[in-house]
Structure 1
Amino acid sequence: MTRNSPPDVGQKIKALRTAEKLTLDGLARMSGVSKSMLSQIERGLTNPTLGTLWSLTQSLGIDIASLLDDGAGETPGGPEIKLTKAYETPEIQSADGRCTLRILGPIDLVSKTEWYDMRLEAGGILESEGHASGTMEHLTVLDGALSVRVGTSVQEIEAGDSARYQADVPHFIENKGQNPARALMLVLAP
């Protein structure tokens, strides 16, 4: 919906009616709005008057304001839940193929916030050039152990530990162990 276009109340009314398991005839009887008028409103063929909206919203148990808002993040049943199935989650691999990053964060936040499910095979290393100035990484090891190197600083991290470090300089995450390791990594840009 553009800023100057009216809200699609017809579709919202239809969704609410369907969620309540009401037929056109049932809502028409409850609201006093004719079945043909209701059908035209739902199909977007006519704009209802304020009085008609009042009758419909009272019958559906909602207020007019909720019907007229743009509904961002809302569905007739409550807040919207967006699901990404496991098979839809994108992955990237390190050059050596020993590190897999499942991209958990939404693509629209990538310039500010990124988070990953990281799996590092034994001997695997993730080398990163410095990110934007002020960027920090937060790494929590879930299984195994990892080593983080930033400049001359090195920190060993075991399962359950979290490390927070500057990521605007070259940094390395390595699995020096004999078993695979898994971690969650959060990258926050300023």
Structure 2
Amino acid sequence: MTRNSPPDVGQKIKALRSREKLTLDGLAKRSGVSKSMLSQIERGLTNPTLGTLWSLTQSLGIDLASLLDTPQEEETSAPEIEVVKAYQTPEIQSADGKCTLRILGPIDLVSKTEWYDMRLEAEGCLESEGHASGTTEHLTVLEGALSVRIGASVQHFEAGDTARYQADVPHFIENKGQTPARALMLVLAP
């Protein structure tokens, strides 16, 4: 866990519940937190409120600080692996709703490198103004087929193909097919 990452309270609560030999239902009754909310917290699908954490720590007989602290040996004994859960991955959509970009790259690299999981519905188009001078895009089709249009030039490509092109001019990524397409897009600034 990095210094700026939130603690994984879900795993800690699950471990404490198991140590106490409590079922989800048992801890729900003891804490007043619903069974479904407990399940979501333990699986890392939701972030609990302070009030929910307070109820859980009181019913498990621990203080809130111990739930939020990371043991010192845990920080130094294992290499860091940062996990971004699916529900934490930001998405943006085109104005017409036919293109969805899941932002896979970390925010601190956005000035140099961006990468996206792109889904483009049938007859959809992602229109882009030119990026900074010298910027290139690398688009790998995973499903379906796409076209890239820059000025009068158009290139068509299918699943498994990669298009590399200058992206510092207006360009269009189009799905002229009748089925959705999916691609990975990497944007590299100079």
Normalised TM-score (structure 2): 0.62
Output one character per residue of 1:34-67: Cα deviation in whole Å (capped at 9) or x when no partner.
xxxxxxxxxxxxxxxxxxxxxxxxxxxxxxxxxx
- 2:106 maps to a residue whose letter is P
d(CA) in 2 for partners of 1:158 and 1:98? Answer: 19
Corresponding residue number in structure 1 for 2:185: 185
Runs (4 or more) in structure 1 with deviation over 3 Å come to: none
User: What is the match of residue 149 of structure 2?
Assistant: 149
Which amino acid in the other structure matches residue 123 of structure 1?
E
Identity %: 81
**Counterpart-to-counterpart distance in 2, 1:88 and 1:156:** 33
TM-superposed CA distance for 1:79, in Å, is: 2.0
1:134-173 superposed matches below 5 A: 134-173=134-173
Deviation at 1:106, TM superposition (A): 0.2
Task: Specify the SS of the correspondent of 1:79.
Answer: coil
- Indicate whether 1:124 and 2:181 are aligned: no
Secondary structure at the counterpart of residue 97 of structure 1: coil
Report how far residue 80 of structure 1 moved. 0.6
Q: Does 1:15 align with 2:78?
A: no
Q: Mark the runs of 5 or more structure 1 residues left unpaired by the alignment.
A: 1-13, 20-74
SS in 1 for 2:87: helix
Q: CA deviation at 1:78?
A: 2.9
Q: Which runs of 5+ in 2 are unaligned?
A: 1-70
1:80 corresponding residue in structure 2: 80
Which amino acid counterpart does residue 101 of structure 1 have in structure 2? L
Query: Aligned pair 1:107/2:107, yes or no?
Result: yes
* Counterpart-to-counterpart distance in 1, 2:182 and 2:88: 20
Q: TM-score, normalised by structure 1?
A: 0.62
Q: Which has the higher Rg, Structure 1 or Structure 2?
A: 1
1:176 is matched by which residue type in structure 2?
A: K
1:184: Cα distance to partner?
A: 0.1
Secondary structure class of the residue paired with 1:178: coil
The 3-state SS of whatever aligns with 1:140 is strand
Q: How many residues align?
A: 120
**Secondary structure, counterpart of 2:72 in structure 1:** helix
